[in-house]
A = this chain, B = another copy of it.
């Protein structure tokens, strides 16, 4: 099998899978497309949480325990900022800040988010292509019973407490899919993988880019997802809570239904083996695997499983 592996990714889960893939295949054959719907301006600085988590993880500078930001981080800026009366609901580490200041200045100077991200990736020694889903800003809002809330406010400030009723991606109609992504799809990739990221706020913003679903369907490569729901819960973040609030089954079957018409296969966890038949009624191609990525070996194993699954689907002639 040849061609690139294109991964649609949110933050932590996507970064873990990306790291596994970077070990499982030649990272030069890897393109990680990051969700930018979470990006926001905080005190005038452009912060791109999902892109940064992928960059930090692949660059081996991520904090492994905290799950976001950089390792060997300090908080002198934040401490002083708070003392001067600045809001402190969103933490910015001293090292992390360097990326935000640099990127913001370059964006203001007229450079694209793609070009800046590529430079940062190079500086961090990342061989895989890390590309933001679009160079035009998109802003995810969580629609709640109390009205719409910008994503970071919902996620960080409100700690996901509000009841979600839907999602809106402001700016999406004017956002062009990253040209490098379109080029990769045009060239015929080996596989398109949907990371075990939040379907609503990490993967759906990417899929909502004008024309992208059609391009994914037309690219000739199998589209394979992995369920972020395991044993009725999400590994991390509010995916399960959102599914429940949206009256969806909180299970791989719910994920299969959500991605129906787009994916060619779904990886579900060993813990949900008993649900495989139920899932097959919705999505016939199902593989059961150990999908919780605790160690690097777990990440590599899941990466290999998804590639093998996709290669198998290609061999079968599906799609």
Q: Which of A99-107, A151-159, A268-276 contacts the other chain? A: A99-107
Docked complex: A111-132 residues within 8 A CB-CB of B? 119-120, 123
Q: For the complex formed by this chain, how many copies does it contain in all?
A: 2
B74 near A94: Cβ-Cβ < 8 Å: yes
Q: Give the distance in Å from the alpha carbon of A178 to the alpha carbon of B56 in the complex.
A: 46
> A43-B105, A101-B43 are known contacts. Are A94 and B119 too (CB-CB below 8 A)?
no
Q: Please tell me which one of the listed residues B97, B108, B119 contacts residue A77 in the complex, with CB atoms under 8 A apart.
A: B97
Docked complex: A58-104 residues within 8 A CB-CB of B? 70, 73-74, 76-81, 83-86, 94-95, 97-99, 101-102, 104
Q: How far is the CB of A91 from chain B (nearest CB, A)?
A: 13
Docked complex: A220-277 residues within 8 A CB-CB of B? none
Q: How far is the CB of A77 from chain B (nearest CB, A)?
A: 5
B74 near A98: Cβ-Cβ < 8 Å: no
Question: How many A residues face the partner with a CB closer than 8 A?
Answer: 29
23 A-B pairs with CB atoms under 8 Å apart are A43-B101, A43-B102, A44-B44, A44-B108, A45-B101, A73-B76, A74-B94, A76-B76, A77-B94, A77-B101, A81-B98, A81-B101, A81-B102, A83-B98, A83-B123, A84-B99, A84-B120, A85-B119, A85-B120, A85-B123, A86-B98, A94-B94, A97-B97
A44 near B101: Cβ-Cβ < 8 Å: yes
Q: How far is the CB of A179 from chain B (nearest CB, A)?
A: 23
Q: Give the distance in Å from the alpha carbon of A97 to the alpha carbon of B102 in the complex.
A: 13
Q: Give the distance in Å from the alpha carbon of A70 to the alpha carbon of B80 in the complex.
A: 11
By secondary structure, the A interface counts as: helix
Q: How far is the CB of A108 from chain B (nearest CB, A)?
A: 5
**Inside 8 A of A105's CB, which chain B residues have their CB?**
43-44
Most chain B CB neighbours (cut-off 10 Å) among A73, A83, A101, A105: A101
Q: How far is the CB of A192 from chain B (nearest CB, A)?
A: 30
**Inside 8 A of A81's CB, which chain B residues have their CB?**
98, 101-102
Most chain B CB neighbours (cut-off 10 Å) among A79, A81, A108: A81
**Inside 8 A of A102's CB, which chain B residues have their CB?**
43, 81, 84-86
Residue of B nearest to A119 (CB): B85
**Inside 8 A of A84's CB, which chain B residues have their CB?**
98-99, 102, 120, 123
Q: Give the distance in Å from the alpha carbon of A81 to the alpha carbon of B97 in the complex.
A: 8
Q: How far is the CB of A145 from chain B (nearest CB, A)?
A: 30
Residue of B nearest to A46 (CB): B44
Q: Give the distance in Å from the alpha carbon of A77 to the alpha carbon of B102 in the complex.
A: 11
**Inside 8 A of A104's CB, which chain B residues have their CB?**
43-44
**Inside 8 A of A70's CB, which chain B residues have their CB?**
80
Q: Give the distance in Å from the alpha carbon of A120 to the alpha carbon of B79 in the complex.
A: 15
**Inside 8 A of A86's CB, which chain B residues have their CB?**
98, 101-102
Q: How far is the CB of A115 from chain B (nearest CB, A)?
A: 12
